[in-house]
């Protein structure tokens, strides 16, 4: 009699408890799905721990690269935050400006006309005792004529008196830092200081509160960009050439000219003619 082995290694082994379930009605086997023992709360924790472990491993493997990457990210965040902060501030300023304008809070809102005095030199004296002296002004070689400083004073006085006649006008001294050797001083501020030293020629209460400076213009065209008081020989340039270039209506433009220094009128007219030809 042969004894047959039915162990696990035998090809004829018998599984008393199969790994599948039988449907008693249909007689078919079906797989059973066992639920995982892990809870929904444990899986995210495991994932986080896995990510942390990987980061820790990379930091040990490449410490310099990780430091540089973190530094780059930090700088980028700071730059982005600073840009957005500046934009928000500008938006706040614009909103406040719009609010003030909408409320009608314009500076000097009742003024309608402009009296602009174009600067021609810079006052360099530390005192205002000799405003009509050529030594008190920074003069170019072509300006070094007797009585030249007096013409500057005449411009200032004419501008003040013109503004005094029109209560709805703004007096504007125009002229930037046009002389490098004169230092950081503007023509406009020079004229304003001279007017202040002269007590606004008796019109302080009327004009001083309506007098401002424009300290960026470099030439006569930029003077106009910003009724002009200047030399009479420059009338053609202001009243026709520059006025036409910016499209300012002729009927609303007035030019007040004062004569050049004695003995310099002819040379000034010749120089102006050359400039006029060059501009055309």
Q: Which residue ranges form the domains of the chain, and what is each CATH number?
A: 43-102 (no CATH), 113-279 (3.40.50)
Distance CA 92, CA 115 (A): 34
DSSP 25: T
Q: Please, which residues bridge with residue 222 across strands?
A: none
pLDDT tens digits, residue range 83-116? 877 776 655 555 555 555 454 566 777 888 889 8
| C-beta of residue 245 within 8 angstroms of C-beta of residue 272 | no
Calculate the alpha carbon distances from 128 to 37, 120, 195, 196 in Å.
96, 18, 10, 9
Phi-psi region for residue 104, left (φ > 0), alpha (ψ -120 to 50) or beta? left
pLDDT value, residue 92 = 56
Please name the residue that has the structure tokens 């930091």: 59
| C-beta of residue 241 within 8 angstroms of C-beta of residue 249 | no
For the chain, give the mean pLDDT. 77
Where the chain has pLDDT below 70, the residues are: 1-42, 88-106, 221-229, 231, 252, 263, 265, 268, 271-272, 275-280
Calculate the alpha carbon distances from 101 to 5, 104, 211 in Å.
105, 5, 22
Distance CA 231, CA 278 (A): 19
| C-beta of residue 125 within 8 angstroms of C-beta of residue 197 | no
SS3 state of residue 86: helix
Phi-psi region for residue 190, left (φ > 0), alpha (ψ -120 to 50) or beta? alpha
Distance CA 234, CA 269 (A): 8
pLDDT tens digits, residue range 214-242? 888 777 766 565 556 676 777 777 777 77
């Amino acid at each position: 009699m042969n004894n047959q082995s039915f162990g696990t290694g035998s090809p004829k082994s018998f599984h008393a408890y199969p790994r599948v379930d039988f449907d008693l009605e249909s007689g078919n086997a079906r797989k059973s799905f066992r639920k995982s023992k892990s809870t929904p709360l444990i899986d995210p924790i495991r994932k986080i721990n896995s990510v942390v472990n990987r980061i820790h491993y990379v930091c040990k493997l490449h410490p310099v690269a990780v430091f540089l990457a973190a530094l780059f990210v930090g700088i980028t965040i700071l730059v982005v935050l600073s840009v957005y902060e500046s934009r928000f501030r500008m938006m706040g300023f614009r909103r406040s400006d719009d609010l003030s304008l909408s409320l009608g809070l314009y500076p000097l809102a009742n003024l309608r006309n402009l009296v602009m005095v174009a600067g021609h030199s810079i006052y360099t004296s530390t005192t205002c005792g000799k405003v009509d002296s050529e030594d008190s002004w920074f003069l170019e070689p072509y300006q070094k004529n007797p009585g030249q400083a007096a013409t500057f004073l005449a411009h200032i006085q004419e501008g003040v008196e013109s503004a005094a006649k029109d209560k709805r006008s703004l007096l504007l001294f125009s002229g930037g830092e046009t002389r490098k050797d004169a230092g950081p001083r503007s023509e406009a501020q020079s004229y304003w200081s001279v007017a202040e030293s002269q007590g606004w020629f008796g019109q302080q209460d009327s004009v001083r509160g309506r007098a401002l400076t424009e300290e960026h213009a470099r030439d006569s065209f930029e003077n106009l960009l910003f009724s002009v008081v200047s030399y009479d020989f420059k009338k053609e340039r202001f009243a026709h050439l520059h006025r036409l270039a910016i499209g300012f209506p002729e009927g609303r433009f007035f030019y007040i000219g004062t004569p050049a220094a004695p003995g310099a009128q002819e040379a000034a007219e010749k120089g102006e003619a050359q400039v006029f030809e060059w501009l055309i």
